[in-house]
Amino acid sequence: MVGIVETSKPIATRWNAVFLLVATGVVAALQVGKVAIAAPVMQEDLGIGLAAIGWLTGIFAVLGLIGGIFTGAFTASFGSRRVLVLGLLTIAAGAAMGALATTLPILLLSRVIEGAGFLMITVAAPSILGHVTERAHRDLAFGLWSCFMPVGMTLAMLTGPLFEGWRAMWWASSATTLGVCLAVMFAIPATGERLAWSWRSLLANTLAVVRTGGLVVLAIVFALYSLVFFALFSFLPVLLMERMEVTHKTAGLLSAFATISNILGNLAAGYLLSNGIRRASLLAGTGLVMGVTGLGIFLPVLPNTTAFVLCVVFSAVGGLIPATLLASAPLAAPTASLTPVVLGLIVQGNNLGQIVGPIAIGSAIERFGWESASILVACATLFTAGVAMRLRRMSWNSSE
């Protein structure tokens, strides 16, 4: 049963709200990137190994895989703005707890808390975008939103070395998140419908989303994209050091440059969708281009510089996929009130790929060499193109 608790009719696109929502995603992504840049210092300070660092980073993806749909249902019931504020407060509390941690178990618990906040933000913030933008601007707004991860990760890499220690970085991330939270409380209006909560309604809403044509396909495409994207970028510094014989520092800078180029695809997707390109065609075409470039990257047949250029192209073109998928969620949802549940399903697909990709590619490389990664990437991207074409008959396939 649906009860209308909050209502809002967007009259004109509120770009200040759009950029503030993107800022919430950026501060959430900062929490992911800060562990990578602080890892060497944390190892020395806490006496932990790479396996522990992996858990500190990977716990976010595990939480997203487990709790995506549940968070979407919770958001649909509790209200997107409330969940967004709660997510920001949760991250701030988790970061503060982490800054005070003196043992690995406490630090891991703080990362679980931060991860819960991250999950709430990544479901709630895009759910609000549809209420603060006009229909004509919605694809562009989702293109901007999908930039949050590469922007946040890059900011963490650039600002991390400016701090004297990792604890100072954690305190700064907590304070920054609180500042954004205050801005959200004053600038983001309460919007949309709220569903009555019960475990029965959670099951019913989940089944309604899963049974709706195309929604599971969206999640599968996101899983395949994340699989190949994180498979490459998890090992890109190592690949560059082996093939181009560059230093660790140079490999890091080149990897950061390739990662940030993903933003170009995010923004391009908003432009292309707002100009009427069909979503299925865009997703399928992007998958094929990623497959071809992936072969050029992993097979030792091209000059090293050319292979790196292909990494940049792979990242930039790949950015078209998350922006397209996220922009499609409100259109594909059975009802507007179920948009958070749809986003939760898509988030689960994303996190599944993040977990499976590096493990599968890493195992293949370790056993059969870099060439084996090209086979996995090619298969995954071809499957992406084939699955995406199943969306061509959906009524929301066209942005027109």
Give the type of residue at 22.
Answer: V
Angle separating helix axes 148-159 and 248-260, nearest 10 degrees: 150
Are residues 150 and 244 located together in one domain of the fold?
Answer: no
User: Residue 336 has what pLDDT?
Assistant: 76
Are residues 190 and 214 located together in one domain of the fold?
Answer: no
User: Residue 196 has what pLDDT?
Assistant: 58
pLDDT band at 310 (very low <50, low <70, confident <90, very high): very high
How far is C-alpha 253 from the geometric centre of its chain's CA atoms?
21
pLDDT tens digits, one per residue of 161-184 = 788 888 999 999 999 999 999 999
Are residues 184 and 239 located together in one domain of the fold?
Answer: no
Domain extent at residue 187:
2-195
User: Residue 313 has what pLDDT?
Assistant: 93
pLDDT tens digits, one per residue of 245-283 = 777 677 777 877 888 888 898 888 888 888 878 888 888
Residue 200 within any structural domain of the chain: no
**Which residue, 163, 195, 227, sits at the end of a domain?**
195
Are residues 182 and 236 located together in one domain of the fold?
Answer: no
- What CATH number has the domain bearing residue 96? 1.20.1250.20
CA dist 266 and 33 (Å) reads 19
Give the type of residue at 96.
Answer: A
Query: With 80 as the cut, is the pLDDT of residue 320 above it?
Result: yes
CB atoms within 10 A of CB 103: 10
pLDDT band at 87 (very low <50, low <70, confident <90, very high): very high
Name the 3-class secondary structure at 334.
coil
Residue 352 within any structural domain of the chain: yes
CA dist 262 and 240 (Å) reads 18
The tokens describing 149, both together, are 């991860």
End-to-end alpha-carbon separation of the chain, Å?
32
Q: How much is the average pLDDT of 26-46? A: 84
**Which residue, 137, 167, 195, sits at the end of a domain?**
195
Tokens 């990664």 label which residue?
373
- Partnered with residue 195 across adjacent β-strands are 2
Q: What is the pTM of this model?
A: 0.80
Q: What is the mean pLDDT of the chain?
A: 83
pLDDT band at 329 (very low <50, low <70, confident <90, very high): confident
Residue 72 within any structural domain of the chain: yes
Written as one string, the DSSP assignment of 55-110 is: HHHHHHHHHHHHHHHHHHHHHHHH-HHHHHHHHHHHHHHHHHHHHH--SHHHHHHH
User: Residue 398 has what pLDDT?
Assistant: 64
pLDDT band at 356 (very low <50, low <70, confident <90, very high): confident
Q: Tally the domains of the chain.
A: 2
Are residues 389 and 278 in contact, defined by beta-carbon separation less than 8 angstroms?
no
Written as one string, the DSSP assignment of 8-19 is: ----S--HHHHH
Residue 135 within any structural domain of the chain: yes
Are residues 159 and 22 located together in one domain of the fold?
Answer: yes
Residue 35 within any structural domain of the chain: yes
Name the 3-class secondary structure at 275.
coil
Residue 61 within any structural domain of the chain: yes
